[in-house]
Chain A
Amino acid sequence: MSAFSKMSAAERGRYAELCADVALWGELDPGEVEEFDALRRRDDAGLEPTAFEATAGALAVCFDDARSDGADAGGSMPAGLVADLARAAREFVDTGDEVADRTTASSSAGRAAGGSRSVSPVFGLVGWVLAAAALVVAGVQWSWSSNGDQDPTEQRAALLALADSVRYEWAKGPSELSGSVAGGDVVWSPSRQAGVMRFRGLPANDATAMQYQLWIFDKGRAGPPVDGGVFDVPAGQTEVLIPIDAKIAVLDAAGFAVTCERPGGVVVSDREHIVRVANL
């Protein structure tokens, strides 16, 4: 039986359009996300989005091959970068999935400080989650195209409206950097793999010295918590809303914590400065 046996021809055509958009741009217009999600659930094999992404990748290779014969994007990799990759590869072999964190998010800041080139703190944990039978699609959208930005207030409201969303209030962490008042909450939707944090009383930070980093404790996987992204709290605001930027799919969010980390964040927190906890 066809993987699309539950779809009409028109629906298959529309599904192809949406899969193509995801493969091309990595996102959809806000109104299309729900539509994509609904069609995806009827894609029995669940592999059509991957097939389109593979086609896009193959085309990128083809275009690159053609260009390499003539105008070049910028020559070979710099020798320093090759050396850094070799070093990172050795560390990866030695440490498994965790690549040694060596610093700053901002490469220009790192270089200006006179440090050596560093491996960006990325992933560090389990890596991609195969979800062939349960492709999770973000239900709320942001965009760097002309389709407009998703306001975090609206995003939070949309998530709260979902049946599966959870909301936990923040409590102060043990760190002296927690500030005097810990208001606000975190909203998370497992089905949308999206969330928004709301903070009151979290002190403003100097992003060149320290950034906050969210950690999501995932009952569905072993190992350290999921990196929920770094963020800043600007000065002069009584309340800030921050969308969650989970690096990998969260299988079963059990709790949340915010720590203070170096700019750009870390792969694994030493938990020296836990400033907020929720449901922990």
Chain B
Amino acid sequence: MTRTILQRVADRDAAAMQECTTRYGGLVWSLARRHAPSPSDAEDAVQEIFVALWQSAGRFDPEVASETTFVAMIARRRLIDRRRRAQRQPRTESLMDSTPLPTVEQKDMVEVEDQADRVKQALAELRPQQRQVLEMALLGGSTQTEIAERLDLPLGTVKSLARRGLIKVRGMLRASEESVDDVEEGQR
């Protein structure tokens, strides 16, 4: 069975590391550019993200996420962490850093695309304002305060919209995963 890019990166396969950059460089660069205050900061962020990705490759688990989602998780963690460092606030261990990462396995390409479709479907079920707030937070890296100012909404409303939106998507994905499992179970 073909090993995934991240599995091969975990084995220190030089060719796989190049493939990793080629396959996921666009996504990482896009997220970094949207989060970072400047192009040079984005470049530093990209390097930091790929180092983190290479180090974490051995812990990817498709039970929790597709490879693309895993990359996005790592990227978001690093971008949020960088933002904190740039703010020079007193800090403690990141709450995200202490969250267990997915660990590894094979992920079928059909399943990957299916998951992406399910995410899109779940997103379509959200209210427009929930989608907008989630996009600003997750893609644009905006803080709650920035979103509140830009959309002229109370801070509590922003927090509630984002929270409820993410919970709803999580719930829909879990429900569809369980129904897929039920169908597969029935077919055995």
Contact = CB atoms under 8 A, between A and B. Distances in A.
Interface of A: 16-17, 20-28, 33, 36, 46-47, 49-65, 67-68, 72-74, 76-78, 81-82, 84-86, 88-90, 92-93, 96-97, 99, 107-108, 111, 117, 119-120, 122-123, 127-132, 135-146, 149-152, 155, 192-194, 196, 242-246, 248-249
B25 A128 contact: no
Contacts of B120: 62
B17 interface: yes
A213 B130 CA distance: 42
Q: Which of A54, A139, A155, A194 has the most CB of B within 10 A?
A: A54
B47 A88 contact: yes
Given A26-B81, A90-B14, A131-B98, A73 B64 contact: no
Contact of A58 (B72, B80, B91, B103): B72
B94 A85 contact: no
A97 B84 CA distance: 24
15 contacts: A27-B94, A55-B169, A56-B73, A57-B72, A57-B76, A58-B119, A63-B135, A76-B25, A93-B12, A122-B52, A128-B101, A138-B92, A141-B92, A143-B89, A248-B97
Interface residues of B, number: 86
A146 B181 CA distance: 43
B39 A138 contact: no
Interface of B: 12, 14, 17-18, 21, 25-27, 29-31, 33-34, 38-44, 46-48, 50-52, 54-56, 59, 64-66, 68-73, 75-77, 80-81, 83-85, 87, 89-103, 115-116, 119-120, 123, 134-135, 137-139, 143-145, 155, 159, 162-163, 166-167, 169-170, 173-174
A99 to B, nearest CB: 5
B96 A26 contact: yes
Given A50-B64, A73-B33, A145-B144, A22 B95 contact: yes
B137 A25 contact: yes
A20 B163 contact: yes
A64 B79 CA distance: 15
Given A60-B31, A107-B43, A92 B100 contact: no
A254 B90 CA distance: 23
B143 A119 contact: no
Contact of A64 (B27, B94, B96, B169): B27
A249 B93 contact: yes
A53 B84 contact: no
